[in-house]
Structure 1
Amino acid sequence: MAFRPDSAWLSPQPLASASALPAPFYTDADAAAQEARRVFAPSWQLVTSVAALAEPGDHVVDEIAGVPVVLVRGDDGELRGFHNVCRHRAGPLAWCSGRGARALRCRYHGWTYTLDGRLRSAAEMDSADGFDVADVRLPPVAVAVWQGLVFASLEPAAGLDALLAGIEARIAGHDLPALAYSHRDSYEIACNWKVYVDNYLEGYHVPHIHPALNRLLDYRSYRTEVADWHSLQWSPLENAGNFYGSGDALYYFVWPNTMLNILPGRLQTNRVVPLAPDRCRVDFDYYYPAQPDEAERERRRQDQTFSDAVQQEDVDICLAVQKRLASGSYLAGRLCPRRESGVHHFHELMRRAWRDA
């Protein structure tokens, strides 16, 4: 059955009197299916580091709103994206990410495309009347680079610069492009992707769920700032003797599902990928200073251990929330204006996405 939300659920709500998104947005299978078109197809998705696409033929595979995509560095040095779908009979052009490919060759029947998306050869198609390889091109995907990170979109509703406007000035002093990619940790979680995003967007739960994080941050000074397409939670680091050093913790959310977690000498990015109405995957990519000494390696180990512990605490509460959203006991509760303005901002963007589409 098609999901048709009550019009009152989609009306803009002032922060002072706002309620959360109603439970069916987190549990209905058709709502999840519609989000691919309403939310993810026109959005920018964080895919990889520019270092993974440094040389001609370097390529990265991914999926956006159910569409397989491949990003590739061309022979001319340009970074491009295409649907990873052969125009013959929908075979894959690349099974996995790799380096130095000379062409994109379909794994099904061998049709071969240049790195700028033009069909170069199609075996035995000389028997097909009126067929011309020059008429066949791969559908393009928009690609943009910001601070050493590569984003892609099927049909962007706005430019990436508009999405990220103001962040560069705010993070002055953090040289993100100088940080080197370390590794990726991925978690599959039995909750709707928005449950995970909601949890990320407020520090209201930190004193109750994250004892170690609460000691690191200054909860009394914890603040949330919102912009058109992103929000920032920030706090001074409570203790100059912690393993991160002195400075601020900056937690950026970028619509609809990207997080940039910036601490002194460390960037962690998160991308929350919907897998089912009640399941998502969160990809954690870690970036640290290149050529670490022993002290830096120890700091990385501490950061990894700390991050894993916080993540498990978040997973546990998200599982519990998803179960209760699906129970029928809950519809929508009031938000705390002082502590949940980031959640409100996200929910207003979700409501807009449903209204506009």
Structure 2
Amino acid sequence: MSTEATNLNDVRQPIERANGLPNAHYTDPDVHAEETRALMLDGWAGLAVAADVPEPGDAVPMEFLGIPLLLLRDREGQVRVFQNICRHRGMILVDEPRKIEGAIRCPYHSWCYSTQGKLVSTPHVGGPGQNTHDGIKREDLGLIEVRSHIWREVVWINVSGTAPGFEEANAKLIARWAEFDKPLYHGGADSAFRLDVNCNWKLAVENYCESYHLPWVHPGLNSYSRLEDHYHIEEPGQFSGQGTLVYRQLTGEADQVFEDFDGLSAKWDTAAEYIAVFPNVLLGMHRDHAFAIILVPEAMDRTSEHIHLFYATPEPDAELRMKNTEQWKVVFEEDVFVVEGMQRGRAAPGFDGGRFSPVMDGPTHLFHDWVAGRLQAHRQQLAAE
């Protein structure tokens, strides 16, 4: 199916009469490739968290939409993202997580790079024993750095390099959570887990940003944070989600709780917010902890969800930390059958993308509208070239 077959005009209608994205946006390889460029590579997408490389020299190879990348904390402690290839013949430089003790050495011809990406050694490039050549300008052949930014401990990347600055592009969200502009501490190995789901990544976003499904999919959570306690969060073109007016702190066997973030307004004594930052990062914010979910499209119909929990202080209570991880794991696992069921449903040829509840589905409709708008702009740009 060609991308011209996906008519997006019905998606961009007011919610009362809009349809959801056509089936092809979940099942067609051509449309998936088009979305990769328009939605993921041209804007700011989530790649990882800074805690994946906690110490200087730590390096983790990653693949993002087929692109080999290297997440690295350089000698000065700055987190960087490079294309994980040698500038000589395109060989993969690092094939498993490790500490870079000296330089990043290509296993093919031993070209070496500093942790800041500078080409520092080219053995025998001018012939045996000749490590330089006039035709090889080391200053021009450093690693290809991918534009990156850290916010809420998430490593965001703009692969194309063409997006507005991160703080400009996300100014409204940064302002919304300005009270939480404080250090976040990753809970460690017991505060991270991964879920692999058989669905297109967009379905995970669609499900996350609305509260409509809570009574049926999350009965435990809904028992105290009821559907009527929730409100919509909608910022066209940027993010959407839900908030709750009822948040109950987790307590341990000795009635201990996590320490709160300092200086919060009274609103956060009982409130919490859950926001999908387009395209692929899902954030949760509470008075005493936060989480980030990075959605990685492994294939058109497969997504890995990387969940990380953060706290206001380093090394919070271990018992409570484990309890919190298990609680959130249960909640997120409850959503798996829903997103996988919707993916299977997209094989029905008569499905028109579905309809939206004008009252309950605002955040999800906003996401569909964002996808459609970005794709329309992308198609217009291609047509003009």
Aligned-pair CA distance for 1:190:
0.9
Question: CA 1:270/1:38 → structure 2, altered by over 3 Å: closer, same or farther?
Answer: same
Find the counterpart in structure 2 of residue 160 from structure 1.
Answer: 166
Find the counterpart in structure 1 of residue 234 from structure 2.
Answer: 226
Find the counterpart in structure 1 of residue 280 from structure 2.
Answer: 257
Find the counterpart in structure 1 of residue 85 from structure 2.
Answer: 85
Paired with 2:56 and 2:93, the residues of 1 have a C-alpha distance of 16
Find the counterpart in structure 1 of residue 261 from structure 2.
Answer: none
Question: CA 1:31/1:223 → structure 2, altered by over 3 Å: closer, same or farther?
Answer: same
Amino acid in structure 1 at the alignment position of 2:230: Y
Find the counterpart in structure 2 of residue 170 from structure 1.
Answer: 176
Question: CA 1:58/1:327 → structure 2, altered by over 3 Å: closer, same or farther?
Answer: same
Q: Secondary structure at the match of 1:270?
A: strand
Q: Secondary structure at the match of 2:275?
A: strand
| Residue 270, structure 1, aligned to residue 279, structure 2 | no
Q: 1:132 aligns with which of 120, 132, 136?
A: 136
Paired with 1:126 and 1:36, the residues of 2 have a C-alpha distance of 41
Q: Once the two structures are superposed, what CA deviation does each residue of 1:113-150 show, in whole Å capped at 9, x if it has no partner?
A: 12232322223221397531424222221011224333
Question: CA 1:137/1:307 → structure 2, altered by over 3 Å: closer, same or farther?
Answer: same
Paired with 1:51 and 1:238, the residues of 2 have a C-alpha distance of 27
Alignment of 1:90-169 (within 5 A): 90-127=90-127, 131-134=135-138, 135-156=140-161, 157-169=163-175
Aligned-pair CA distance for 1:199:
1.0
Q: Secondary structure at the match of 1:216?
A: coil
Aligned-pair CA distance for 1:342:
1.2
Question: CA 1:213/1:176 → structure 2, altered by over 3 Å: closer, same or farther?
Answer: farther
Question: Does the CA-based 8 Å contact 2:199-2:301 persist in structure 1?
Answer: yes
Q: Secondary structure at the match of 1:16?
A: coil
Amino acid in structure 2 at the alignment position of 1:254: V
Paired with 2:197 and 2:250, the residues of 1 have a C-alpha distance of 34
Question: Does the CA-based 8 Å contact 1:41-1:64 persist in structure 2?
Answer: no
TM-score scaled to structure 1, two decimals?
0.89
Aligned-pair CA distance for 1:240:
6.6
| Residue 333, structure 1, aligned to residue 339, structure 2 | no
Question: Does the CA-based 8 Å contact 2:61-2:95 persist in structure 1?
Answer: yes
Amino acid in structure 1 at the alignment position of 2:156: F
Alignment of 1:1-357 (within 5 A): 1-9=1-9, 12-53=12-53, 56-76=56-76, 78-127=78-127, 131-134=135-138, 135-156=140-161, 157-174=163-180, 177-183=183-189, 184-227=192-235, 228-237=237-246, 246-292=269-315, 296-357=317-378
Question: CA 1:82/1:253 → structure 2, altered by over 3 Å: closer, same or farther?
Answer: same
- % identity of equivalent residues: 28
Question: Does the CA-based 8 Å contact 2:110-2:122 persist in structure 1?
Answer: yes
User: Paired residues, what number?
Assistant: 355
Question: CA 1:60/1:153 → structure 2, altered by over 3 Å: closer, same or farther?
Answer: farther
TM-score scaled to structure 2, two decimals?
0.83
Question: Does the CA-based 8 Å contact 1:273-1:280 persist in structure 2?
Answer: yes
Q: Secondary structure at the match of 2:188?
A: strand
The gaps in structure 1 that reach 5 residues or longer are none
Question: More deviation in 2-11 or 22-31?
Answer: 2-11
Paired with 2:223 and 2:36, the residues of 1 have a C-alpha distance of 38
Amino acid in structure 2 at the alignment position of 1:326: A
Question: Does the CA-based 8 Å contact 2:38-2:375 persist in structure 1?
Answer: yes
Aligned-pair CA distance for 1:272:
1.0
Q: Secondary structure at the match of 1:126?
A: coil
Aligned-pair CA distance for 1:285:
1.1
Question: CA 1:175/1:198 → structure 2, altered by over 3 Å: closer, same or farther?
Answer: same
Paired with 1:4 and 1:88, the residues of 2 have a C-alpha distance of 39
Question: More deviation in 167-176 or 103-112?
Answer: 167-176
* RMSD value, Cα: 2.7
Paired with 1:291 and 1:145, the residues of 2 have a C-alpha distance of 19
Aligned-pair CA distance for 1:79:
4.1
Question: More deviation in 78-87 or 266-275?
Answer: 78-87
Amino acid in structure 2 at the alignment position of 1:155: S
Question: More deviation in 328-337 or 41-50?
Answer: 41-50
Paired with 2:68 and 2:10, the residues of 1 have a C-alpha distance of 31
Question: Does the CA-based 8 Å contact 1:64-1:153 persist in structure 2?
Answer: no
Amino acid in structure 2 at the alignment position of 1:137: G
Question: Does the CA-based 8 Å contact 1:210-1:313 persist in structure 2?
Answer: yes
